[in-house]
Every structure is written in structure tokens, then in C-alpha cells.
Amino acid sequence: MNDHVVPIHHLQGVGKQIAKHLARLHIYSIQDLLFHLPIRYQDRTNIQMIHSLIRDQEAVIEGEIQVVSQPRRGKTKLLCELQDKTGTIHLRFFHVLSFQAKILRRGVRLRCYGDVRLGSAGLEMIHPEFQVITLDKPLALLQHLTPIYSATDGLSQYTLRKLAASALAWMEREHILEERVPSSIIHSHSFPTLKQALQFIHRPPREALADLMANKTLAHKRLVFEELLSHRLSLLRIKRVFKAQPSVSLAEGGTLIQHYLHHLPFTLTAAQQRVHHEIKYDLSQTHPMLRLIQGDVGSGKTVIAALAMLQAVENGYQAVLMAPTELLAEQHYQVFKRWFEPLKIQLAFLSSHVKSVVRKTMLTSIANCTAQIILGTHALFQEHVQFAKLALIIIDEQHRFGVHQRALLREKGMHASYHPHQLIMTATPIPRTLAMSFYADLDCSLIDELPPGRLPIVTSVLANHRRDEVITRIREACCAGRQVYWVCPLIEESDVLHCQAAVKTAEQLQKELPTCQVGLIHGRTSSQDKESVMQAFQQGQINILVATTVIEVGVDVANASVMIIENAERLGLAQLHQLRGRVGRGTIASHCVLLYQHPLSDLAKERLAIMRNTNDGFQIAQKDLELRGPGEVLGTKQTGELSFKIADLVRDYELIAPVQQAADILLRDDAYDADVLIERWLGNKQAYRV
């Protein structure tokens, strides 16, 4: 029995040159070659009569060459007429090699395979594959469908077919790719074994053609199942290793939390309470928490973060909260100051914009533990920040946080003798099942409820030329004491031009609405100005805030109830949902207007319609997944993470749940088999290694 990956050059017929070509297809081992599945099939199992040929279909025919004519110019062109007992067809060659020209003579019998086309003189085949038939050596007919693989320059279908066939033979002879999925699972799904599945897919019987084209065969499902299973096992193993590390146990039940809750102007929703409960328990353990909070925009994640941080502080430890933007970090700082200063808790703030004098004091306070709660941007982890007693790391709004980054963070946060607990919060809800497979190395908590009294945001989609109506609406809203966001998303490549566009919009709006106070915030606004503008908006001194997408995540101003988004057709669903989530945070009915530039593509129409029809982040995520695929939705396309050889998380969605069950069984009963599966499917993916 052989569980090791066998380098491709062990296969007969694979020399340096072919190995190089195969590498371009990411085939390095015999196993890789076997998992390089056909993209489609041809049916060459029966010979068709020439009179029954249909144009634009592939066919096998047999006949005798009647006439051979070399068209006038160019010696490489050749046309011949092939005849069987029912009719004739032309075979047209544009580049015929000299040895082929010698074969293609009058009276020779051929078996040809090719596409039937309608030419100037009736049906023809252009450059058919052909074999000569001699009476003493009759050709056997193929019993199987002919696979077509994705190929590359220098590697013909013929070579690939031959290689695949010898890889299959190797598999049977050398016992590679032995069955590792428990037989109970194979039986309950009526799956074939792995080997049967591979044999079937590379050399399928003729009847299977339709199912094969739809990737609907059990053999295919069987492979997808195993691949998904291996990915999940890998993530679970990472989690298990991490969870075995030591960390400090933070006891529950201190008075700080009671005081804090007592002074909050609201009570926690049931969902918030449940999630807080889960976190409280995790933090009291001697192994690190690794938890993801998923909660739609406005579901109240910040309070949960505060509660977790208080538990660290009560126990004499530090906690840090990292936000993806300066603006959000700054807002958190203001909110936490308001919450925590009455409790006599020391806070520190750090971002790349903090001036060096202040920074020095901050760094000292972090290093000598006078700062108990530390807030900031990724500067917190990029610079030489020394934490005295860090017990908890929280990351807010990290909706594009891949396995790889998660691993990095764990390393960075690692203290001499213990690992800090980790909490990751995201508002980009991805479909639950997908989340469970993408975040299998984390425990997930879901805040599936909004605070009471929230009214759904009413969204309208309007063409740019109806801007006047929008201005009228804004005027009314401002008169009624409401506040408005006006977002100008990136349409210019350059940051400078982009900011200029926002400046222009702000000037124009101020002209159109002279009685309103218009504020402006963009990527180039200094942090000081950002702070004062946000404060003025927060306090209601600014009625209309013109902004670039800097306000996309986290910003929380309850009185703002109108959101205008220009060029909405250029933004992704997740981003639109985030932006829209800036309103509808209080108890006032909110409106969102998506302005677009005519004409809209079909896809853009569909996306804007989704935004109009629902406010539910999970539904939007599901649609997004269907429209763009999981790579885009999870932001993993560039990094290559979660790239499957065969599986497709959208198409194979219904397999995810059974895969989860199978992974649990396997990890419980057969760790060795699990290791083999991980190596088999993810062997060269470092990101998944512990």
C-alpha cells in the first residue's frame, strides 16, 4: 500500500519536456494527473454512415478515398473525397505533413474522427484525426467515451489520454490512492470507491455521457466529497493543534461587567446574550478561544467586544481591538472612552497617524500595562508594539480574513508562555454552510437578531438623470432634522482625482441646498479633520456628509437616516450592503437611494434589484455567492486559498453538511486516514499546514 505522492517522472513516457508541460497544468505527481479530470467527452464508440451526418456534430466515419486534389497554391493544402456505401464527404487539410500526404492516396481506406462542417461543396471535415484500415489489421471500435482534458501548448490530447491511461494502470498495479473514506459513509451515499470513480471518469461507458456533462455522476460526487472532506479535516486539525496550546483562564463574574451593563442605555438582545455567554465561557478556559462572531450590520457587535475586553481587564490583563480603518478605530476609541472612563479603565489608541510624541507615551503605557484596553488599526501588529499582559485580541470587520492571515495573527499575538484568546467579528455574513466550511478552524457565534425597534431601510434604485428628485428628498429630510450620507464611490483610478470628485460633489450640494450644512470626508482628509467632521456629524451640526467609501464599515450615527450612493452599479453587493448599513441604526425609518449611470448591464440590474428587495445580509450573501462564486465572495481568489481541484462550493453545496459529519467520524476514529487524505489533496498547500 502506498500513500505517498509519486513524482510524475516515475510514469513511463514522461521525460523532462513532458514534465515541464505538465507542470504548467499544475500536475507534478501521478496523483495530480489522476485528479486532472476530463473537461468533456467525445463519443467515438460507433461509426456513422456518411449520409446520416449532421453538420456541427462530431462523428466517426469510415470510407475509401476516391479523389485527392491538391488545390493550386501552396503544397501543404490537400482535399480528398471519402466515400462509404451511403455517400461522400470532403476531408480538408490546410497543413498536411509530407508523410501524411503519402498516406492519403486514392483507394486507401480510412477511419476518421472530426467535426462535420458545411463547406462550399457540401459536408466536410477539417483536419480530421484519421487511421488507415488494412484488411489484415481491422481496427477495434472504442468501448468507452473519449476524454478531452484541458491541455497546454506542446501537450496534445493524444498524449494526455495516453498518460492518463498509464496513470490508471499504475494506480491499480502499485496500489496508490487506496480508499480512506470510511466504508459506512461510502455505503450510505452509494458511492463507488475512489479507484472505481477515477476509472469511470477517465474511461466512462457511452451511456453516461449526459450525466457526465452535467457533472452529475456518483463518481464525480464521490471525488468532490473526498476533496471537501480533506479540506475540512485540514482546518479542523489546525484548530485542534491551536486549541491544545496554553492560554490564561479569565474568570467570569466580575463587578466591572455588572457596572458596565447597568449603565448601558439598552438591554442586550437575546442573541447578544447568547453570544456573550459563549465568549464568557471560552475566555475562562485554559486554552485559547478562537471564535468568529457573525452578525449583520447594526446587530450590535461592539457591545459584545466591550464585554469580552472587560473580562480580560477584570483579571488584570490587557485586551486589544483592531479595526480595518482609521475612521472606525477612532470611532471605537470615542465610544469606549465614553463607556470605560467612568469605570476608571485606562485606554490607549494607536494608528499610523498618531504623532510620535503621543505614540511614545502610548507605547510605554502598553508596555508597562498602564493601558488596559488598546484600540487601533493594523499598526498595532505591524510595529514594534510590546504588550505587557495581552490576553485577548479582537479584530473587527474582518470580512476578508483568510486562513493564512488567521495563522499569521496567531503567531504575532503569541506571548512567551501563552496564546491570547481571539475574537473575530464580521458583518459580511456569508451563507451559513459556506461559513462553516471556510471557518472550520474557528468556533462560530451568530447574532441573528437586530436590536428592537429597527425599521427596515427602504431602498430605491434611480437613474442619474433623476438627481433633482433626490435633492428634493434630501431637502425635506434635512428640514425634518434628519441627517444624510452622500457616498461617491471610486470611479477614478487615482486617489487624488477620486477625492476631487467628492470635493466637487460637496460644493455642488452646498450650492443646491444652501440652508443645509454639508461636510466632507475622504481618504486624504487629515486625521484631525476627520475627527472633527465626524464629531460634528455625530452631534448634528452637519446635515449632509459627503464621503468616499472610507465610511464603508462600522461608522455608527443613529440619527443619519438617508443614504445616497452614486455609481451604485460599480459596487459589489457586500459593499453596497455595508454602506447601506450606515443608516437604519436608530428607530427612525431610513431610506437608501442607489443612483446609477445609464445603461445598466443585465448583471448590474440583477444586483441592484437584489439590494432593493432585501435588507437581509445573509440573503444578499447567498445571491452574491450565486452570482460571483465563493472565491470572490470570500476574497480568496487572489490568494488561491480555498481553490479546489474538483469541488465547487456553489454547485456542490448539498454535500457540505454530510462532509461535516464524515469529518467528525474520521477524526474520532481514524486519525491516520485523515492525515493521508489531507496529504493527498492539500499536500503542497503551506497555508493549511500548522
- Smallest gap from Cβ 454 to ligand ADP, in A, equals 8
Site for ligand ADP in 254-293 (CB under 6 A): 266, 268-269, 272
For position 301 contacting ligand ADP by CB under 6 A, the verdict is yes
Q: Which stretch binds ligand ADP (CB under 6 A): 295-303, 429-437, 464-472, 654-662?
A: 295-303
Query: Using an 8 Å Cβ cutoff, are 548 and 505 in contact?
Result: no
For residue 595 the three cell numbers come to 443612483
Nearer to Mg ion, 554 or 584 (CB): 554
The listed partner (ligand ADP, Mg ion, none) that binds 297, CB under 5 to 8 Å by sort, is ligand ADP
- Smallest gap from Cβ 301 to ligand ADP, in A, equals 4
Q: Which of 38, 300, 376, 420 binds ligand ADP (CB under 6 A)?
A: 300
- Smallest gap from Cβ 191 to ligand ADP, in A, equals 42
Nearer to ligand ADP, 230 or 299 (CB): 299
Q: Which of 324, 402, 451, 519 binds ligand ADP (CB under 6 A)?
A: 451
Q: Which stretch binds ligand ADP (CB under 6 A): 239-247, 296-304, 319-327, 650-658?
A: 296-304
Among 191, 196, 149, 145, residue whose Cα is nearest residue 168: 196
For residue 18 the three cell numbers come to 513532458
The listed partner (ligand ADP, Mg ion, none) that binds 81, CB under 5 to 8 Å by sort, is none
Site for ligand ADP in 388-447 (CB under 6 A): 427
Q: Which residue is nearest to ligand ADP (CB)?
A: 300
Q: Which of 29, 299, 351, 372 binds ligand ADP (CB under 6 A)?
A: 299
Q: Which residues contact 323 (CB under 8 A, 6 or more apart)?
A: 329, 332, 375, 376, 377, 396, 397, 553, 554
Alpha-carbon distance of 146 to 139, in angstroms, equals 16
The listed partner (ligand ADP, Mg ion, none) that binds 298, CB under 5 to 8 Å by sort, is ligand ADP
- Cα–Cα–Cα angle for 496, 497, 500, nearest 5°? 90
- Smallest gap from Cβ 342 to Mg ion, in A, equals 22
For position 302 contacting ligand ADP by CB under 6 A, the verdict is yes
The listed partner (ligand ADP, Mg ion, none) that binds 300, CB under 5 to 8 Å by sort, is ligand ADP
Query: Using an 8 Å Cβ cutoff, are 388 and 366 in contact?
Result: yes
Radius of gyration of the chain (CA): 32
Q: Which residues bind Mg ion (CB under 5 A)?
A: 554
Nearer to ligand ADP, 203 or 580 (CB): 580
For residue 620 the three cell numbers come to 444578499
Number of alpha helices (DSSP H) and beta strands (DSSP E) in the chain: 25, 21
Nearer to ligand ADP, 437 or 615 (CB): 615
- Smallest gap from Cβ 232 to ligand ADP, in A, equals 28
Nearer to ligand ADP, 227 or 296 (CB): 296
Alpha-carbon distance of 350 to 151, in angstroms, equals 52
Query: Using an 8 Å Cβ cutoff, are 321 and 394 in contact?
Result: yes
Q: Exposed (0-12), middle (13-18) or buried (19+): which is 373, by Cβ within 10 Å?
A: buried
Alpha-carbon distance of 439 to 677, in angstroms, equals 19
Nearer to Mg ion, 128 or 554 (CB): 554
Cβ neighbours, 10 Å, residue 480: 9
Q: What are residue 254's phi and psi, to 5 degrees?
A: -85, 170
Among 552, 533, 531, 532, residue whose Cα is nearest residue 544: 533
Site for ligand ADP in 309-368 (CB under 6 A): none
Nearer to ligand ADP, 192 or 298 (CB): 298
Q: Which of 276, 399, 580, 585 binds ligand ADP (CB under 6 A)?
A: 585
The listed partner (ligand ADP, Mg ion, none) that binds 548, CB under 5 to 8 Å by sort, is none
Site for ligand ADP in 528-567 (CB under 6 A): 556, 558
The listed partner (ligand ADP, Mg ion, none) that binds 234, CB under 5 to 8 Å by sort, is none
- Smallest gap from Cβ 187 to Mg ion, in A, equals 47
DSSP helix/strand/coil, 236: helix
Nearer to ligand ADP, 41 or 439 (CB): 439
Nearer to Mg ion, 448 or 606 (CB): 448
Q: Which residue is nearest to Mg ion (CB)?
A: 554
For position 297 contacting ligand ADP by CB under 6 A, the verdict is yes
Q: Which helix (H) or strand (E) holds 128?
A: none
Taken in order 379, 382, 388, 389, is the CA torsion positive or negative? Answer: positive
- Smallest gap from Cβ 583 to ligand ADP, in A, equals 11
- Smallest gap from Cβ 585 to Mg ion, in A, equals 10
Strand partners, 563: 485, 592
Instruction: State the DSSP string of 528-582.
Output: HHHHHHHHHHHTTS-SEEEE-GGGSSS---TTEEEEEETTGGGS-HHHHHHHHTT
For the CA atoms of 154, 157, 162, 168, the dihedral, rounded to the nearest 10 degrees, stands at 110
Number of residues assigned to the chain:
690
For residue 105 the three cell numbers come to 492516396
The listed partner (ligand ADP, Mg ion, none) that binds 147, CB under 5 to 8 Å by sort, is none
The listed partner (ligand ADP, Mg ion, none) that binds 303, CB under 5 to 8 Å by sort, is ligand ADP
- Smallest gap from Cβ 198 to ligand ADP, in A, equals 47
- Smallest gap from Cβ 452 to ligand ADP, in A, equals 6
Nearer to ligand ADP, 273 or 361 (CB): 273
- Smallest gap from Cβ 573 to ligand ADP, in A, equals 17
Q: Which helix (H) or strand (E) holds 200?
A: helix 194-202
Alpha-carbon distance of 368 to 374, in angstroms, equals 13
Q: Which stretch binds ligand ADP (CB under 6 A): 229-237, 281-289, 294-302, 361-369?
A: 294-302
For residue 233 the three cell numbers come to 479535516
Nearer to ligand ADP, 7 or 342 (CB): 342
Q: Which of 114, 147, 192, 298 binds ligand ADP (CB under 6 A)?
A: 298
Nearer to ligand ADP, 11 or 427 (CB): 427
Alpha-carbon distance of 547 to 322, in angstroms, equals 23
Terminal-residue alpha carbon distance, the chain:
26
Q: Which residues contact 321 (CB under 8 A, 6 or more apart)?
A: 305, 309, 332, 336, 373, 374, 375, 376, 394, 395, 396
- Smallest gap from Cβ 276 to ligand ADP, in A, equals 11
Query: Using an 8 Å Cβ cutoff, are 439 and 236 in contact?
Result: no
The listed partner (Mg ion, ligand ADP, none) that binds 295, CB under 5 to 8 Å by sort, is ligand ADP
Nearer to ligand ADP, 163 or 620 (CB): 620
For ligand ADP (CB under 6 A), the number of binding residues is: 17
Nearer to Mg ion, 323 or 593 (CB): 323
Strand 87-93 and strand 78-84: pairing? antiparallel
Among 443, 440, 529, 512, residue whose Cα is nearest residue 478: 512
Among 327, 316, 484, 483, residue whose Cα is nearest residue 397: 327
Cβ neighbours, 10 Å, residue 158: 10
Nearer to ligand ADP, 147 or 300 (CB): 300
Binding site for ligand ADP (CB under 6 A): 266, 268-269, 272, 295, 297-303, 427, 451, 556, 558, 585
